[in-house]
Every structure is written in C-alpha cells, then in structure tokens.
Amino acid sequence: MVKQVTEINDASYLFNTGTGFNSQDYLGCHLAATGRAVFRVWAPHAKAVAVVGDFNDWQPNRLKLLGATGIWQGQLAGVHAGDLYKFQITTATGQVTLKIDPFAQQFERKPGDASVVVEPVSMVWHDSLWLARRKKSHAVNRPINIYEVHLGSWRRHADDSYETYAELATELIPYVKQLGYTHIELMPVMEHLLDASWGYQQLGYFAPTSRFGSRDDFLNFVDQCHQANIGVLVDWVPGHFIRNYDALYQYDGTPTFEYADAKRADNRRWGAWNFDLGKTQVQSFLISSALFWLDQCHLDGLRVDAVSNMLYLDYDEGREGQVNQYGDNRNLEGIAFLQKLNTTILARHPDVLMIAEESSAYPQVTGAVADGGLGFNYKWNMGWMHDTLDFFMMDPLYRHDHFNLLTFAFVYMFDEHFILPFSHDEVVHGKKSLMHKMPGDRYNQFANLRTMLTYMLAFPGKQLNFMGAEWGQFLEWRDWSALEWVDLKDKLNKRMQHFTATLNQVYRQNRPLWELDHAPEGIIYTHTDDPESSTMSFIRQAKRKYSFVVAAFNFVPVERREYRIGVPYRGHYELLLNTEDQAFGGTWTKLETDFTADAIPYRGQPASFTVTLPAMGALLIRPVKIMRGGVKHAR
C-alpha cells in the first residue's frame, strides 16, 4: 500500500512539475484485472468531481481529491472495455458540467464525444526490421519524399462513407509504394468533431479518430506501413485546441489548459483556444501526447502545426502591440516549450523527425537548442513554395522579368534544414489545384507541372506533395468527397501518374539528389543567372566525388537546341529523365540518351556538352564514365 501511494505521489508530482512525460499511464481511465477501473483527472479548482457512464447508468460516482495535487481519483466496479464515460465537474461557483477525459485513447463516433474505456495497448508489432533500419540510419541521411494524405477524402465508398483504417491499409499502402514515396504524412488523425477543421481543432490528444475505426485499427495501419517500408508522419497541434465547452476549455470552471489572460487564450484566426504553454501541467500533457504517438503508435515523426502562433505574442488578430518583459513580440513561454518538447522527444527518440510548419523568418528553427535554436529536425520552406508557385503560375512570356522568384531561395537554402512542400493549403479555398494553377492549354499545364515537380526534386531539401497532384487532378481539393479517381481514365492523367512514379524512382536511386541536401557542397551553380533565356542548370553532388546529377530546365515553351551545359569532367553522360518523353504525356518520341562532354570550358566548369533542351521541359543527366587526368572513372 505504501508503494502504491508513493507511485501515485511520484506520478502526480511529475505531472504538476512539467516532467510527467507518460502522464496517460496515470491520468484517465485504467482497467484493472479484477474488472474494476481507476479514474483520475486533473481539475485543481473544481469543487467536486464525479465520473458518469454506461457502467453506472450515467449517475455520478464521486471522486476524491488527492491532497494538494489537483488530481481527483476513484475506483469503480463493473467497468468494461467499450463503455462510454465522462467526468462531471462541479465548479467553485456550483455550476455542473460534463467534460471529456483529456487522456482518453478512444472516443465514440461523432456527433457524440464521450470517452471510451479501452484496454491498455497490447499490440503485437511486426515492424522491428523497419525500426532497426530507422535507428541505424537517420532519415536526414536518406531520401525523404512524402505523400500528404487526408484520410477522409483520399477514397470513399460508393455511398460516400469513409473507408476504414483496414481498408486504407489495403488500398493506400500499395498505392504509395507503387508511386515510390518514402513516407505518408497524415493530416491530423487525433480525434476531432468538425470535419471542416481537417483535424486541426483537436478534441482527443491521445486518441486516433473513430471515423475510420478503433485505436488498435490505427496501430495496425501503421504496422502495415512499416512492413511495406513506408514511414508514417502525422500532423499534431500543440498550440491550440477545440472551442467546445465540454472539452478542455475552462475544464474545472477556470482557465485550466488555456491562458488565464482571455486575450491570449482566444485564438481568433483558427476559432480555437490557445494552450498556456508556460503552465507545467500543460507541458506534461502535451509532451505526453507527443510521446504517446511516437512510443505507443510507432510513428516516425510529427509535423508540428502553426509554430508561428506559438512564437509570437502578436501573431493573431486582436493581439497587436503585445510585448514581453524585454519589449519585443516573442512568446517566451512558447519558445521555451518548443525547445523542451524537441529536447525531450529527440533524447528519447533521436531517430524520429520533428517538423515545424513555421511561416515566418524566425531564426534557427532547426538549430540546436544549446545554441538558442528550437531543435526541430526540419522546417517547411514556405518561402520557396510561394515563390515557386508564383513563378509557375505566371504566363511564360513574363517569367524572365521575375526570375528572382526562383533564384532568391539560393540565398537562404542552407539556413535551415528544409522540406519543400506543395501541401493541402495550396490547393483549397479557391487557390486551385497545382494542375489548374499552371498557365496555357491542357498540354502546357501538364508540361509545366512535370517541370515544376522535377525542379522540386532537384532543389536541395526533402519534399512533400499533397494527394492528387501525382496525376494532375484539375479540381482543387474538397475535404468532403474523394479524389477524382475517374481522371485516370484520361491518358494524359494516367501518363502524369506514370511520370510521378518514374520521377520518384529516379530520386530514390540517385544519391546526389538527397545525400547532401543540407550542405553547400551539395549543389554547384552552373547556369542560374540567365533570366533572359528563362533557362537554368545546376549540379547536385553526392558525397562521392564522381557521383552527381546535372539538372537543366527550360521555363518557356521554346525549344533550345545546342544548349551548352558546363560539367566538372570530360567523359560520357546518360539521360535519367526527360519530362517531355511521350510516355509521360510529352511530345518527344525519340530521346537523346547519351552525351559526350569535351574539354570546352563553360561557365566556370572545365568541360561541357550540348543538349536539346525541350520546350517547357527539364532534363536530368548523370555521368557514366568520366575522364580525370587521363584516367577513366566509372560512376
């Protein structure tokens, strides 16, 4: 008995001091072998707390406050897995409300939001080989090519109902593998009520959404991804939470999870409440949530949403002019929380990815915490994404006047470790699909899209594409219906899909395209200062001296014959990819596949060769046998 009390005191102490990083093992509902269950909930300013559910005909059973911990506890008999329950909170003013269990690992299907009693996770995993590989070679040193998915609209049944986790495993995993992506990134799967929020206004921070099945169904989905050698990343939102009054808001009748300052608590931009990131119990809650998804669900990383909202006091509407004690707009609690989050997670899981969706120019997002950085592995390169889209949306006639949209990113490409994203945010709310953004007739739209995706692949940084872009869906994304799979009956869409699979294969098989993504020596600028021709070429270099890929781009629909490209060595080169190959929907029926570089210096390189650069197209070329000092070197 003394040991049990000590363990409880230790767990409550850790939770209250911001160091309880497995708080879900203590708080919430926990079944015992005797058919009983222990309920614990943090409600420090409540007058009384009870639990109601299927097991007591929704009549309150009072819980007992554990000293000064702010935690209420009770043990009930006759509680079984699958039972629904809530906590009944009596506030200091006598108001009685029903609240969710913040630590629930499953919820009933919407429109209900009761928590569900579940057994402890007892998953038998089959992904030991995947995890061993992940530990041996960190993803930073491997190709990362992410397929971003909204599970509710990737595919649906004929009656428009959702597919289950099991059905998605059967269909989505082979599809992603066939297309050659390395990872799936799921838009939030944490439980949420409002479909239109896409999961970014979360209800359950420890619960996979019940839309597609149970918690264990989700675990099986992840396990099958890993068995297919596909990593799984999930979007996670520690900055703000759902507005609903039966959720976390004023949980015990006072600001509990959110800021006490109403102005700081109110998140107008997203219609949510901001977490008080300086509160130690909130830190325990959120870091426990992150580790739950990584520990218990075997995820390979989290993309942390809306980081900018946590970095600045004045980021949201109505908070203009807010400053900290130093007179600037930094949210010091938010910055400290992010550093603590990443330090804690990467100490326990140095092989997972922590990715920041951060839209400002805040410095050192991926810098080491010891050096004042935030400690993320990666940051989405939003500047590159906006500039690249703006350039490709432009009529080619005017592109030469705006070439800086492409070249500006060369200035800062190594300031952070970047992921290049063409995400869901860019193909919704009237922004048009990637395909629809492209100028010209249908043929030219496909040509532009192929060239843009090749430019993305060749540019330093890992990469992400949202579902539907792989075949050039014309309609912008609609979260309420499935992708337009009927498009694939059209030969141009089908060939675009084939192009994407080929492009992804070229990426994975050629180390220069990913091995030195974050080092200046990973790129050699050969022809990047010629806006008048609207062409560009550069070389991506691998660690091995003689391993590199030449990338050449033509951003206007005018074929360039005898286009000279400078390279480091004389020798023989071969074609990896021509975006205008007829097999991809282009017009070239006969490809130039072999090139000879002679000792003709060009643009700072000692050798060069000429190609026919396709109109509105791109070429990827690599050396086969090169000459250096009179000696041949094979690739």
Query: Which residues does the annotation mark as catalytic?
Result: 305, 357
Calpha distance 64→312 (Å, rounded): 40
CA distance to 124, 222, 230, 261, per residue, from 131 (Å): 14, 12, 11, 43
Closest CA to 624 of 569, 563, 562: 569
**Helix and strand element counts for the chain (H, E):** 15, 31
Q: Which two tokens stand for residue 259?
A: 């800021």
What are 570's strand-pairing partners? 627
Calpha distance 163→151 (Å, rounded): 8
CB 420 within 8 A of CB 587: no
CA distance to 127, 293, 469, 574, per residue, from 583 (Å): 37, 42, 18, 18
CB 144 within 8 A of CB 461: no
Calpha distance 255→276 (Å, rounded): 9
Residue 193: which residues within 8 A CB-CB, separation 6 or more? 110, 111, 113, 201, 203, 242, 244
H helix intervals, 157-279: 165-179, 215-227, 262-265
Closest CA to 472 of 506, 421, 436: 436
CB 577 within 8 A of CB 499: no
What are 88's strand-pairing partners? 50, 98
**DSSP per-residue string spanning 89-156:** EE-TTS-EEEE--TT-S-BPPTT---EE--PPP------HHHHHHHHHS-GGGS--EEEEE-HHHH-B
Q: Which two tokens stand for residue 535?
A: 């062409």
Q: Which two tokens stand for residue 172?
A: 């989505």
Question: C-alpha dihedral over 42, 44, 50, 51, to 10 degrees?
Answer: -10
Calpha distance 120→280 (Å, rounded): 26
Q: State the CB neighbour count (10 A cutoff) for residue 188.
A: 22
Q: Which amino acid is at 618?
A: A
What are 236's strand-pairing partners? 304
Q: Which amino acid is at 529?
A: D
Closest CA to 206 of 280, 114, 151, 286: 286
Calpha distance 290→284 (Å, rounded): 10
Residue 29 per-residue DSSP state: E
Q: What number of residues does the chain have?
A: 635
Question: C-alpha dihedral over 314, 315, 317, 318, to 10 degrees?
Answer: -20
User: What sign has the CA pseudo-torsion 247, 253, 255, 256?
Assistant: negative
Q: Cis ω on the peptide bond leading into residue 363 (within 30° of 0)?
A: no
Residue 598 per-residue DSSP state: B
Calpha distance 94→246 (Å, rounded): 16
3-state secondary structure of 440: coil
